[in-house]
Structure 1
Amino acid sequence: MTKPYGSSLDDHLDAEVARDASLADTAATIRALAAAAIDVSETVGRGSLAGDLAAQGEHNSDGDVQKALDVIAHKRFMQALEEAPVAQVASEEAEDVVELKADAPLAVAIDPLDGSSNIGVGMVVGTIFGIRPAARAEDPNASFLTPGTTQTAAGFVVYGPATTFVVTLGNGTRIFTLDRSEKVFRLTHDAMKIVPSANEYAINASNVRHWDGPVKSFIEDCLRGAEGPRDRDFNMRWTAALVADAQRVLIRGGVFLYPGDNRKGYAQGRLRLLYETAPIAFLIEQAGGAATDGQNRILERVASKIHERSPLVFGSTEEVECVAKYYDGRQPSAGRSPLFGQRGLMRS
């Protein structure tokens, strides 16, 4: 059993290994990631005193311009994983799989620095990771071309007013908060349970003109509030950092949407399946929520390449199921969207 409120991440990992000895390597890897996260937290906390963390450099695997903090985080986490029982790493900041220890049992998919657009303006950034068994195969990508259900653990770090380490080893989702005086993560939210329904949704509304009909209709009906078919008022939230929105959903419920849209290259959304959507889905499901690509369970999706993208809808089960109804036409209002139609207040 996990110790009461205030116990450390190390205590929790010890308890998980005592429950299931096969998790020993996974626990060792999480310890390494947590140590690196503390170092990255210190750099983030110094802000401009640590230099121009938003300075632009090379392009990453997805063609995005890397910022200084992206590179710092990638290097620090790679250093940590070199000392862990990890054979391979798939990182957003590396084009190909990075080979570490050939005979090690695990593979790690990681986004070292989530929310890069927030660097330099004092807003939340984070780290996301998923751990799964390493495959013994000639294809270096083989370890990662498996469904998300093969993950042995997943987690994310939020570097905000407090630094939090959110983790699951398949036995519930917990939040640990960094005690800066001791440099120890301590349990603050035990065995999270996402409420089945809540009046908050998160989506980047600047992309409204690119959304497909079901997403437009769902958001429109939320905007109609108590006068619309949802029969209640909603608030919209969007932080431009997946980790922050995920932590809010874990604590308060609601639904997050990053759908595919009509922009070139965005048919499958913007988020990456291996090191963003699959880890988040594992954490959300372990807290009693749901995570889909709009219709289908995220954890059953299998990547065909390491940087593959995926739409993502996650949060309170009733809200995620409601989105699916719009996609399959079971919601009466699905398909009509006068608020977001071609005619607007400025058009005649």
Structure 2
Amino acid sequence: MNNTTPPPNLLDEALQRHLVGMAPDAALALRETINAIAQACVRISDVASLGVLADAHGLAGERDVHSEEPKRLDVIADGLMASSLSACRHVAAWASQEHEQPHVSHAHGTKGGHLVVFDPLDGSSNIEANISIGTIFSVLPHRYRGMAPGAADFMQPGHQQIAAGYVLYGPATLMVLTCRRGVLVFGLDWRGARDTGAGNGPGAAPQWVLTYDDVRIPEHTREFAINASNQRFWEKPIQRYVAECVAGDSGPRMKDFNMRWVASMVAEVHRIMTRGGVFLYPRDTREPRRPDRLRLLAEAAPMALLVEQAGGRATNGTSELLDLVPDTLHQRVPVILGSKDEIDRIVGYHADPSENVSWQLFKTRSLFVQPQA
């Protein structure tokens, strides 16, 4: 006879311990909001793991608000997140990267204490290549309870986030989370759901299991991630920093570096969380009307909070990312984050960008255009 007692909610139990000292009502509300996000990500993980078998590959067939063609999995993930958040009594409204305006909860728009911002599927270009993708999310306070929120209510600097995190859909599905008390990592355990002989019965829900409870990013690193194909469009401080890294032990840094680029921010940041490094998506001149690439609310701010809570630093080159106040829901910014010592160096180069270097990358030519005499 199968045990029909539902298994304990391990995520909720871990959060309950983690939020000790927080006002009980506030802690309960935050746990329920994070659980709603986590439940949606379980379903996204399931669909993503099936890929083409779930008809989740290819383009959705329509352009989004950014004049881009979303993938089918983008649309599926967006719908799953919206459905889960709409059922959470603490979420007054949510804003998705896929929509021009936020969605106000019909049932909880005036009562909910949280606003949620999310990128439902980061790294969409990697879907068919079966490379790690993810979901990024941020929880902000609904400051004017009793009133239905609008876009202006989301215009909060990153340091006002109550919680932030991402879910990585890779060889394992992992949720990396901060509630401003350090960084936790949860692994999604499907064994109870897949093994009908495990005592949970058929169809048991998978569980988020706490695997790390104090993630710290090493201050020193020999690894950086940047899309080198855009080199000719970078500003001078980034040119200098990358050239010095590529010059290796024969250059001014006197040590060798490795360069990485996955084209998925979740994958890039997770590598930094596990072993240190630097992620750079700097301002460039490739498209003069759109010099910045990553969305402040849905991507940069939540990742910045995670990185800083883990002992790293996050900046746009001249200002801390968490200090930036968005002007629009989809405002884009440069993003430079990771191991603190390297970010300090890059910020220093931005403060004094008059120098340049000419280390030979390809033997016959320099990475940089030499300054005119």
TM over 0.5, yes or no?
A: yes
Aligned residue for 1:92? 97
**Aligned pair partner of 2:217 in 194, 204, 208:** 194
Distance in structure 2 (CA, Å) of the matches to 1:198 and 1:43: 35
Structure 1 residue aligned with 2:177: 167
Name the SS of the counterpart of 2:252 in structure 1: coil
Residue 335 of structure 1 and its aligned partner are, at CA, apart by: 2.5
CA-CA distance at 1:91 after TM superposition: 0.6
The aligned counterpart of 1:14 is: 16
Give 1:335's aligned residue.
Answer: 356
Query: Residue 88 and residue 265 in structure 1: after superposition, are their counterparts in 2 closer, same or farther (change >3 A)?
Result: farther
User: TM-score, normalising length from structure 2?
Assistant: 0.86
CA-to-aligned-CA distance 1:172-224 (integer Å, 9 cap, x gap): 00111111113111122221111101100001111111111111111000000
**Percent identity over the alignment?**
39
Distance 1:80 1:139, change over 3 A: closer
Deviation string 1:10-39 (CA, Å, 9 cap, x unpaired) is 222112343312232121111011111111
In structure 2, C-alpha distance between the alignment counterparts of 1:201 and 1:148, rounded to whole Å: 24
Alignment partners' CA distance in 2, 1:201 and 1:17: 34
RMSD between superposed Cα atoms in Å: 1.8
Tell me whether 1:133 sits opposite 2:141 in the alignment: yes
Deviation at 1:329, TM superposition (A): 1.6
Q: CA deviation digits over 1:295-339, x for unaligned, max 9?
A: 211000000000000111111100111111111127x9x423462
Aligned residue among 158, 161, 168 for 2:168:
158
Where structure 2 has 5 or more consecutive residues not aligned to the other structure, the ranges are: 1-8, 193-205, 360-365
Structure 1 counterpart SS, 2:61: strand
- SS of match in other structure, 2:297: helix
Identify the residue that residue 363 of structure 2 maps to in structure 1. Answer: none
Alignment of 1:159-308 (within 5 A): 159-182=169-192, 183-264=206-287, 267-308=290-331
1:272–1:308 contact (8 Å) kept in structure 2: yes
Which runs of structure 1 show a deviation greater than 4 angstroms over 4 or more consecutive aligned residues? 265-268
The residue type equivalent to 2:109 in the other structure is: A
Mapped contact 1:213–1:336 kept (Cα < 8 A): no
SS of alignment partner, residue 219 of structure 1: helix
Contact 1:260–1:266, Cα closer than 8 Å, also in 2: no
Shift of 1:60: 2.0
The offset of 1:139, in angstroms, is: 6.9
CA distance in 1 between counterparts of 2:28 and 2:317 reads 35
Question: 1:53 offset after TM fit, Å?
Answer: 1.7
| Amino acid across the alignment from 2:124 | S
Q: Is the 2:12–2:35 contact (alpha carbons within 8 Å) kept by the matching residues of 1?
A: yes
Mapped pair 1:58 → 2:79? no
Q: Is the 8 A contact 1:289 1:315 kept in 2?
A: yes
1:285–1:291: 8 Å Cα contact kept in structure 2? yes
Q: Tell me: CA distance 1:139–1:43, structure 2 relative to 1, closer, same or farther (3 Å).
A: closer
Name the CA distance, whole Å, in 2 between partners of 1:208 and 1:81.
40
Q: Which residue of 1 aligns with 2:29?
A: 25
Pick the aligned partner of 2:114 from 106, 118, 132. Answer: 106
Contact 1:17 1:24 in 2 (8 A): no
Conservation of the 8 A alpha-carbon contact between 2:93 and 2:149: no
- CA positional deviation for 1:293: 0.5
Residue of structure 2 in register with 1:4 after alignment: none
- The letter of the residue matching 2:140 is R
Larger radius of gyration: 2
Q: Given residue 296 of structure 2, which amino acid in structure 1 is its aligned partner?
A: L
Name the residue aligned to 2:5: none
Residue in 1 that maps onto 2:199: none
**CA–CA distance in structure 1, aligned partners of residues 255 and 176 of structure 2:** 31
**Distance between the aligned counterparts of 2:21 and 2:45, measured in 1?**
30
The corresponding residue for 2:4 is none
Q: Provide the C-alpha distance between the structure 1 equivalents of 2:74 and 2:47, rounded to a whole number of angstroms.
A: 12
More displaced stretch, 266-275 vs 36-45: 266-275
Deviation at 1:52, TM superposition (A): 4.6
